[in-house]
Amino acid sequence: MALDAWQGQVKSTDNLFNKLSDEQMMQEVSPSRNRGIYLLGHLIAVHDMMLPLLFLGESQYKELHPIFVDSPDKSTPNLPSVAELRAKWTAQVENMSKLFAGLTPDEWFTRHASITAEDFAAQPHRNRLNVVLVRTIHLSNHRGQLEFLLPKG
Amino acid sequence: MALDAWQGQVKSTDNLFNKLSDEQMMQEVSPSRNRGIYLLGHLIAVHDMMLPLLFLGESQYKELHPIFVDSPDKSTPNLPSVAELRAKWTAQVENMSKLFAGLTPDEWFTRHASITAEDFAAQPHRNRLNVVLVRTIHLSNHRGQLEFLLPKG
């Protein structure tokens, strides 16, 4: 169920990005708020950080973390282009989908990398599946904002 | 995990509503988009519809469904006041929290009211807990939009 919800949100967000032109992606989602390009980079970076957290390998796009996680929008002079970010988003969706499909149900209920085995014994809900659940909610939060880049109606 | 996620999103949204004045709630979250008051009513109405869907009783606020689910914002001349809606939101949060706490884990994995017993046999993920998961994501989507009612920074 949680994995279906994740895939559903990723798919809806992907559809939304496909509807938005590079020009629309350079707009703020609402006056003085984040631009589409920033939220795209932010989602890639946050999802990238899930890989080590889920014990699924190294981050692939470490260079995006300082720009799109540690810094707010409009504070970095030279952002990667929308086209570059779109390519990374697409590659990442495919890669994560494969990696997720490789985990067994039991593996999803094992600990993630930010909790020690000792703490996990007392807090078994802090498992890998819960990371996906929390990130699904995060994705939905930003997707609601990105929708404002589409023309009204 | 899914119930924690629901409670977390409800709590964050409740905190956000408490930070927003009635005046701010009358603003559009972004130019030409829904107003805060509409999204508040929409969330109450959508959550209200969860009660029969989860076999937890009748809807309590049926009068809100045509205004906040079937109709878009700014199409109904006489909306309930923000104060009225806030009171309903608060009562609903308390009521649903009690009702949810009353279900056992096994009960969460039984079918919801929109699926027949026959279909559920083949699609066991369409259970009551999944309704909560889907509504949590819906709530997060609108919470991301409601955040724009707060002053920037």
**Positive or negative torsion for Cα B54, B136, A17, A36:** positive
Query: Distance (Å, rounded) from C-alpha B26 to C-alpha B44?
Result: 16
- Specify the length of chain B in residues: 153
Domain limits of chain B?
Answer: 2-149
Ramachandran category for residue A94: left, alpha or beta (phi over 0 → left; psi -120 to 50 → alpha):
alpha
Work out the average pLDDT over A69-76.
Answer: 96
Spatial contact of B5 and B133, defined as CB atoms under 8 Å apart: yes
Spatial contact of A2 and A129, defined as CB atoms under 8 Å apart: yes
Nearest in space to B50 (alpha carbons), one of B128, B150, B120, B137: B128
pLDDT at B68: 98
Among B137, B139, B142, B147, the residue to mutate for chain A (most A Cβ within 10 A): B137
Give me the total of CB pairs closer than 8 Å, taking one residue from chain A and one from chain B: 67
Work out the average pLDDT over A100-109.
Answer: 97
CB contact under 8 A, B4 and A125: yes
Provide the CA B2 distance to its chain's centre, in angstroms.
15
Nearest in space to A37 (alpha carbons), one of A62, A57, A20: A20
Residues with pLDDT less than 50, chain B: none
Q: In a 3-state reduction of DSSP, which class is residue B35?
A: strand
Residues of A with CB under 8 A from a CB of B: 1-2, 4-5, 9, 29-33, 125, 127, 129-130, 133-134, 136-138, 140-145, 148, 152
CATH architecture of B2-149: Up-down Bundle (1.20)
| Residues A76-87 pLDDT 10s | 999 999 999 999
The backbone torsions φ and ψ at residue A57, rounded to the nearest 5 degrees and listed phi first, read: 120, -175
pLDDT at B108: 98
Work out the average pLDDT over A143-150.
Answer: 98
CB contact under 8 A, B137 and A1: no
Spatial contact of B146 and B13, defined as CB atoms under 8 Å apart: yes
Which pTM was predicted?
0.96
Nearest in space to A117 (alpha carbons), one of A57, A56, A55, A50: A55
Provide the CA B118 distance to its chain's centre, in angstroms.
29
Spatial contact of A122 and A11, defined as CB atoms under 8 Å apart: no
Residue A152 has pLDDT above 90, yes or no: no
**Packing angle of the helix pair A36-48, A128-146 (nearest 10 deg):** 180
Q: Which residue is associated with the tokens 């899930």? A: A50
